[in-house]
Every structure is written in C-alpha cells, then in structure tokens.
Amino acid sequence: MPWPFVQLLAGRWRPIFGAIALAVGAGLIVATAVVYYAQAPGYLGGDARTYLAAGERLNAGHPLYALSPGDRPVAISPPWWTVPLVSPPFIAVLWRPLAALPNELGIAVWIAGSVACIVAVAAWFHRRRPVATGLLLAALSVPIGMEIVLGNVNGYLLAGIVGLWVFRERPASGAILGVMIAIKLWPIALAVWLFGQRQWATLYWTAATLAACEALSLAGAGWMNHVAYLSVGASVHPSAFSPTSQLGVPWLWVACLIAGLVLTMALRSRTDWSYRAAVITIVLGTPIVNPNTYALLLATVAP
C-alpha cells in the first residue's frame, strides 16, 4: 500500500480514532470516580474538606497548622503528615470566603470549578490532538478520576500550567505562575523553564504576583502561621505513593528534582520539550506525590 494512501486513510479516520480514544478515556475516568467513591464514600471531597477546615480555622482565629477545640476534625496520619494542612497558608486564605458559605456549599463550588478546569483542558487538547489526548486520558484515568472525587487543588493547577503555555508569548501570563507557586511551591520548575527561554518580562510578572499573593497571605493568615509553616515544610515526609517511598530511596525525589531542572535547562532550545520536562519535574520532583498528582501529566499534551 503506497505511503501517501496510508497518510490519506489516517487523515480520514483520525476524527473517528480521536472520538473513540476520547470516549474510552472519559469512560475510564468516570468509572474510576464511581468505583473510588463507592469503595470510599468518606473520601468525597476529602482534600476540599481539608481546605475547608483550614479556612474555618482562620475565620475562627485559630492556629492554621494545629487543631484547637471546636475545629472541624481533619485526618492526620503520621508519619506521612502530622499537621492538619501541609500546603502554604495562601490556600487557606483563598478558602476563607468559601468556608463562610453555609452547609459546606464551598466544597461544591470548589469541586465544580476543579471539574470545569479539567474538562476545559481536555476539550482544548482534544480539539488540537484528539488521538493523543484520548490515549493520555485513558492512561491517566485513575489519577484524574481520583482528582475529581477528592477535590484537590491540582485541577486548578492543571489549568494554570496549560494556561502558562497557551499564553507564553504574553508577559502577563507570569501572573498565573505566581499564583500557582503561592498555592503549591513545586510549580517553581516552570520558572526555570521561563528562565531558560529568557522570558524576563514574564518572570517579572511572576515575581510581582507572587509578592502580592504573599502579602495577601500575610494579611489573611497572620505572621505566626507563616512561621509555623516553616516547621511544617522542614518535617515533610515522602508520601506513601511517591517513587521515593515505593522504591525505598529517601533521596530519590531530590534526584528527580535536580535532574528535572537540569533537563529543563538542557532542552531550552526546544521550548516544547523543555516545558514537558518542567511539568514532569513538578510531579516527580516533590516528596508529596499522591495518585491524583499524576493527573498533572496531562499538561504534557499542551505543546
């Protein structure tokens, strides 16, 4: 069969292949979410409830990284985590208005926004690269399905990571990265990507936005909670599902972080692959890697 004919045939069938791949990926994600909820109904919005409890503690004037009498119970599981929140104070400040809503309505609003971000990213990817998107959705169906059930911040981070790529030619896109770093430190790998691309104006926007977020965080959480977070960060234990714990190599996440940042810079002449290296570093170059964290790898389809 002549090669041009094969290309023509593939071109004609590509929309069908893409639709099938998308259907399989979406079906697996829904199935994962349903099964996960059925087996552990108490985990519905589990991470969102952690954020809700953090916002409630701030609204009550209680310490953020310790439970006080009357606080909403939060699961603590030593040695994996020994405090009711392991994220920087900024996420709790963002949750203060949501925590003030009645009947835990803030959880529903948060999860709806997270799902909307994931669906929007998947839809945009499918429009550009239908087959690759469908296949990666299928491969990441378990992390994405768990992400939907848990309501972790990763759904929003996924949209932010992709948004940084989409608007990479606009310096103001650095504001997206500034907010992400304030929420969760590890997206700083994308700052290394911007450095390698010599996007100085974008990095200025990142720094300015990060400074503004930190000012808001100090105003909303107070100085002492930020001091307390330093001890939280210093005592972080690799999560049970991280490669570090799974392989029993305590320094593996550090090696992944260093190797990922080096690779991001080494590939700086290839903007797309340097970006992908940074995204992978965000996932693997951290001690706190849970199954749903791998949902962020969907962003590698962006370039």
Position 6 scores a pLDDT of 39
Closest CA to 157 of 293, 303, 302, 301: 293
Position 14 scores a pLDDT of 66
Taking only the tens place, the pLDDT of each residue in 248-291 is 888 888 999 999 999 999 999 999 999 999 999 999 999 888 88
Taking only the tens place, the pLDDT of each residue in 203-220 is 999 999 999 999 999 999
Position 160 scores a pLDDT of 98
Q: What percent of the chain has pLDDT over 70?
A: 95
Taking only the tens place, the pLDDT of each residue in 175-188 is 999 999 999 999 99
- Region of 106 (left: φ > 0; alpha: ψ -120 to 50; beta: rest) is alpha
Closest CA to 225 of 61, 56, 47: 61
Mean pLDDT of the chain: 90
Please tell me the least confidently modeled range out of 38-52, 121-135, 149-163: 38-52
* pLDDT level of residue 130 (50, 70, 90 thresholds): confident
**161 vs 19, higher pLDDT:** 161
CB neighbours of 100 closer than 8 A, spacing ≥ 6? 55, 59, 106
Q: Which two tokens stand for residue 235?
A: 């005592």
**218 vs 21, higher pLDDT:** 218
Position 12 scores a pLDDT of 61
Whether the CB-CB separation of 54 and 91 falls below 8 Å is answered with yes
pLDDT exceeds cutoff 70 at 8: no
Using only the alpha carbons of the chain, give its radius of gyration: 20
Taking only the tens place, the pLDDT of each residue in 220-248 is 999 999 999 988 877 777 777 778 888 88
Whether the CB-CB separation of 31 and 145 falls below 8 Å is answered with yes
Q: Where are the alpha helices (DSSP H) in 151-270?
A: 154-166, 174-183, 189-196, 200-221, 223-234, 243-247, 252-266
Taking only the tens place, the pLDDT of each residue in 25-66 is 888 898 988 888 788 776 777 899 999 999 999 999 999 999
In angstroms, the CA 180 to CA 237 distance is 22
**135 vs 89, higher pLDDT:** 89
pLDDT exceeds cutoff 90 at 195: yes
* pLDDT level of residue 9 (50, 70, 90 thresholds): very low
pLDDT exceeds cutoff 70 at 10: no
Position 7 scores a pLDDT of 46
Q: Which two tokens stand for residue 271?
A: 């903007």
Whether the CB-CB separation of 192 and 176 falls below 8 Å is answered with no
Q: Label each residue of 104-161 as H, E or C.
A: HHHHHHHHHHHHHHHHHHHHHHHHHCHHHHHHHHHHCHHHHHHHHHHCCCHHHHHHHH
Q: Which two tokens stand for residue 116?
A: 């909307």
Find the mean pLDDT for residues 110-127.
95
**232 vs 293, higher pLDDT:** 293
CB neighbours of 4 closer than 8 A, spacing ≥ 6? none
